[in-house]
Every structure is written in C-alpha cells, then in structure tokens.
Chains A and B, each alone.
Chain A
Amino acid sequence: MLAALPIIGAPRNWLLYIFLFSIYLAMANMWNLLCGYCGLISLCQPAFIGLAGYTLVIFTWNGLPVYLGIIGGAVVAAAFAILISIPIFRLRGIYFAIGTLVVPEVLRVIFLLWRPVGDVIHGKGAGYMIKGLTEVSMTDIYWLALFIGIASIFLMRLILSSKLGLGLAAIRDNDNTAASSGINIFRLKLYSFVIGAIVTAIAGAIFYMSQEYVEPISAFGMRWTMTLILATVIGGVSIEEGPIIGTVIIVMLHFLLARYAGISLLLQGILLIIIMSMAPQGIMGFIRKTRAYRYLLQ
C-alpha cells in the first residue's frame, strides 16, 4: 500500500516521512540486532553509512551505474566490517563500544585528507556530488528505501528464528553455557556484525542517493549513531517491534523540530536520558508489561 503512494500522487511531505522512516528503520533494526541480541554496543555504524556514500561517489564518478554503486557499498562495508572485527572483536562490553567509537573518527580524518576521485581544485575535505542520478527518479529512490526498510523487518524475523538467532539468544542468556554447548560465539557475533554492516550500508547508500551529496563530517558523524540508539531505546531494546515504534517517534520529532536544529538534538539527548532512566525497556517493553499484567489478572 505504501508502495503505491507515489503513483496516486500523495503529498511530497508524506513520501519524505516514509522515506526517512524506512531508512532509519533499516539501520535501527540492525542496531537492535547488535545491541539487543548480541550485546554489542556498536558506535561505528556511521562508518558503514559513510563508506557506502563514498563508494557510491567513486562508482558513479567512474561511469558505473548507481545500482552497482549500492551493491559496491554493501560489499565495501562488509569487507570493512570483517577487517575491523580483527581488532575490535577482542574487546568486550564497554571496551567494544569505545573501540568502535574510534573507527568513524579515523575514517572522517582519512576522507577529509583523501580525494578519491576528481581534482583537488575543490580543496580538501569538501564533499562530492553523486553523478548519474538523472536516470533515477525520486519515486525509484522511495521504493528502494521502502524495500530496504521492509526487508530489514523480515530479515530480523528470519535471523531470530534461524540457527543464528537461537545461538544469539543462548549467548545472551549465558555465554559460558552457550560456548560449552558448542556455539561459536565469535562467529555468530561476527555474522551479525557483517549483516548489520551490509544492511546499514545499503540504507546509507539509498539515503545519499536522495541527498545527491556526500561530505565526511556528516557522513561519519555521531548524529547517525545518536538517531539509531534513540530509535531503538525509545521503542525498546531487544524487542523486535521496538525499532519500528521508536523510528516512527524519531521521524515525527525530526519533522516537528526541523526548524530548531540545535534544540532538536538537545531535546533528543534529554529524551534519551529520560527514557533510559525511567523506562529502560522502552515503549514496547512498557506495553508488553501491561498486556502480560492483564493476562495474568484474568
């Protein structure tokens, strides 16, 4: 039904809401997979988003089609995830979080210095236009976003009901028991990390297709991480529906406060603190609790 909206001529604003919702949803779902089901607080998701954006730039500047660029971004992000997993998967808990925090900062500095394509005339650190977007209409980009958003929901369901998900649940409940019953903790977490990187990269690439412009400071920025954490925490960590609810609220906030950029982020920070200290299970956790409560009363 949502897919038909651009054809029947829905207002542009609606499309923009749903577009952002789908992109954030895909990313938040992956963050939920990592944080809620693997216990990995990954603060390096912007690295995958930025890499996807830049891969798109490099592909399109070399005359390759945009769609190949999206796939290329996913491949680059997956390769990068495997590469950084060598050092950071040795870290546990809070060390892991800090280790991953460093990664986007490194990439930001590298991409501020490095001009992968084109001349140096624009000066260092400037962004890039993404070429070859003339063949792709806004409607196509909208559909792509919708696709990745919905696909991420099904992917979560698939992962959680598969052997991978069962293994993850076992690790989450007790990693020593899980390890002694033959579950390879490292491999399962690595799989999730790479899957998270791929989906986040695809969503990032689609986002930058609509922006038509990439620059390092926002592409590798903490703002992404913030949005993902907020969407997941508001909705409910380690609850499948959590990110969906959380993302709806985030997108609403985003547009309500669009005119007050600075204050919007300030409020988001305050909201994060309040939700985390008052209702750490998020909105879905709260609803579930009351429903279970009612069920018990009957």
Chain B
Amino acid sequence: MYEVLADLSTPLIMGILLGGLYSVIALGLSLVFGVMRLINVAHGDLVILGSYFAYTVMTTLGIDPILSLVLGMPVLFLIGFVIQKYLMARAFGISMEAPLIIAFGISLVLENFCQIVWTPLSRGLTTSYTLAGFSLGEAYVPLVYLLDFIAALVVMILLREFLGRTYLGRAITAASQDRRASQLMGINTARIYALTFGIAAAISAVAGVFLGLTFPFTPLSGIAFLIIAFGVVILGGLGSIIGTFIGGIILGLAQTLGGYFFGPGAQMIFIYVMVLVILAVRPQGIFSR
C-alpha cells in the first residue's frame, strides 16, 4: 500500500503543478468568455504565438523566456486589442455565429502565420534550468513544473487584485455582469471589451512562455490547449478565478494519472473524454452558481 502511494506521489505532485499551467492557459479564455460571452476559438493559437514570440526573443537576443515577457505581454496585448476592436466588435452585431466563425478564421490565420514564420518543426524553450529538478519525498519534480505553479499563483492573485481594486478592473466586472446597466453608468463597453481581450491576450503570453518551458510545441498545438483551456473553464465555471484554478488542477491530475495508469500516449484521451462528459452532464460548469 505504502509503495503504491509512493509510486503515485510523482504523478500526483506533477499533476497539481501542471494544473497551475493549465489554469493560466485557461484564464484568458475564461476572462473573454466571462465578459463578452464569446468562446475565443483562437485562444490556443494566441498562447502558441506567445510561445513562439518568446522563442524568437530567446534565440535572437538571448533573453531568458520569462524575462522576455516584458516584450511579449505588450505585443500580445496589442494584438488582442486590435482583434477585438476591429474584428470582433463588428461581429457581435451581425449574428450569433459570426464571432465564432471569425474567431475560427483568426485561429487559422495565426496557425499558418506561425507555420510560415517558424516552420512546422516542433520547438521548445530550452534554458539552463530546463532539465533541473528536485526530490520531494519519493517524488522527483522538474523545476519548470514548480515555476508553472508559481506563475499561476502570481498571475491569479494579480488578476484578482486588478479586477477587484482598480477602476478599470471594476468596470470590466460591471460590464461582464450587465452590459446595458454598465453602459448607463457611463462605462464605454466597447473600449472595455477591447481592453479585456488585450488583457486576456497578455495573459496568453505568460501562458505561452510557461507552456514552452514545459512542453515542446508546434504551430498546430493550439487546438489541444484550446480544448484543455475550455475543459478548465467548464470545470471551474464562468469568470471564477478560484474555480479556474481548481479546474486546472483537476485536469492536470487527470492527465498525469491517466498517463501513469494507461501510458503516456493515452493521457490526452482522458482530458478530452472528461471535457465531453462534463459538457454533457453540467455545461454551466461544476463550480458555477
């Protein structure tokens, strides 16, 4: 019994730490979803764009990927801002499915842009600490997984404080709760939406960097991470930061434990099937009101 537990400790700890990464990936999706009721199908590709941006900065300027966020976050913020302001804002007025189809188009554009610029080869953000790790009891934990988890905590606390304490953050919360009422209160919702999309894209930049540190990525990885992010949002419920965190950890555990029991090839099936089951049973999310 003890041996089984000791054996399990590695996938358990890895799963929880990996859950941190997944919740950061999901955070941007959750924010856009919560505020604009839009499922941004291009979210996964924005994350991958963040990974590639860090990759380029790292290989050309020799800056550490985490430090490169100083450049990456503003760039992605701008991209997100422009997408919302010039494409999505119009789409909302057209029809129900127009924003989804346009997001799908953006996803395709980003995917192929990455493929043209960085070739379809698999890349990774390899740094001096990529292979480092430490022992925790019986378990061996790679350092990057711990970094993922710390990054998740930092991003979440910052976002929470931002939404709760600043004027802009409160305006975003107000717009997400009731668009018309907040408009009547003098909030420029079109601008708030653009800023929200920008912030979500900037968080994607963070997600992209830690994703690149943890896993190899290709231009086509976006969709797998979109599904993971969607699963996390569905598990955690709309707009709930803590829910997103818990959802991320559940999916992280599902992946590592699935990989432990059924081999690494099968681990993604667990996540996908879990997403489908949760969707079928409780589409409004497990932790939502």
Query: In whole angstroms, what is the CA distance A93 to B279 when docked?
Result: 13
Distance in Å: Cβ of B229 to nearest Cβ of chain A = 10
A102 contacts B by Cβ under 8 Å: yes
The digit string for A29-46, where 1 denotes a CB below 8 A from any CB of B, is: 000000100010100000
The digit string for A103-134, where 1 denotes a CB below 8 A from any CB of B, is: 10110011011000000000010000000000
How many residues of A sit at the interface, in one of the four size bands? 35 or more
The digit string for A90-103, where 1 denotes a CB below 8 A from any CB of B, is: 11111101110111
Cβ–Cβ contact A109 & B102, under 8 A: no
B66 contacts A by Cβ under 8 Å: no
Query: In whole angstroms, what is the CA distance A226 to B106 when docked?
Result: 11
Chain B 94-113 interface residues, beta-carbon cutoff 8 Å to A: 94-98, 100-102, 104-109, 111-113
Query: In whole angstroms, what is the CA distance A92 to B269 when docked?
Result: 24
Q: Using Cβ atoms and an 8 Å threshold, which residues of chain A touch B223?
A: 101, 105, 222
Q: Using Cβ atoms and an 8 Å threshold, which residues of chain B touch A298?
A: none
B87, B107, B280 pick with most chain A CB within 10 angstroms:
B280
The stretch among B129-137, B146-154, B173-181, B270-278 that forms the contact with chain A is B270-278
Q: Using Cβ atoms and an 8 Å threshold, which residues of chain B touch A105?
A: 223-224, 227, 268, 272
Query: In whole angstroms, what is the CA distance A113 to B269 when docked?
Result: 11
Cβ–Cβ contact B101 & A106, under 8 A: no
Q: Using Cβ atoms and an 8 Å threshold, which residues of chain A touch B41?
A: 97, 101
Distance in Å: Cβ of A218 to nearest Cβ of chain B = 11
B127 contacts A by Cβ under 8 Å: no
B90 contacts A by Cβ under 8 Å: yes
A91, A109, A273 pick with most chain B CB within 10 angstroms:
A273
B122 contacts A by Cβ under 8 Å: no
The digit string for B145-189, where 1 denotes a CB below 8 A from any CB of A, is: 000000000000000000000000000000000000000000000
B4 contacts A by Cβ under 8 Å: no
Taking CB as reference atom, which chain B residue is nearest A237? B97
Cβ–Cβ contact B105 & A262, under 8 A: no
A263 contacts B by Cβ under 8 Å: yes
Distance in Å: Cβ of B105 to nearest Cβ of chain A = 4
Q: Using Cβ atoms and an 8 Å threshold, which residues of chain A touch B106?
A: 269, 273
A155 contacts B by Cβ under 8 Å: no
B71 contacts A by Cβ under 8 Å: no
Query: In whole angstroms, what is the CA distance A90 to B276 when docked?
Result: 11
The 8 Å CB contact of A266, one of B112, B230, B273, is B112
The 8 Å CB contact of A109, one of B112, B272, B276, is B272
Given contacts A113-B266, A277-B91, A277-B94, contact A91 B283 (CB under 8 A): yes
B116 contacts A by Cβ under 8 Å: yes
B39 contacts A by Cβ under 8 Å: yes
> What are 5 of the A-B contact pairs (CB < 8 Å)?
A87-B280, A94-B38, A98-B230, A233-B101, A265-B112
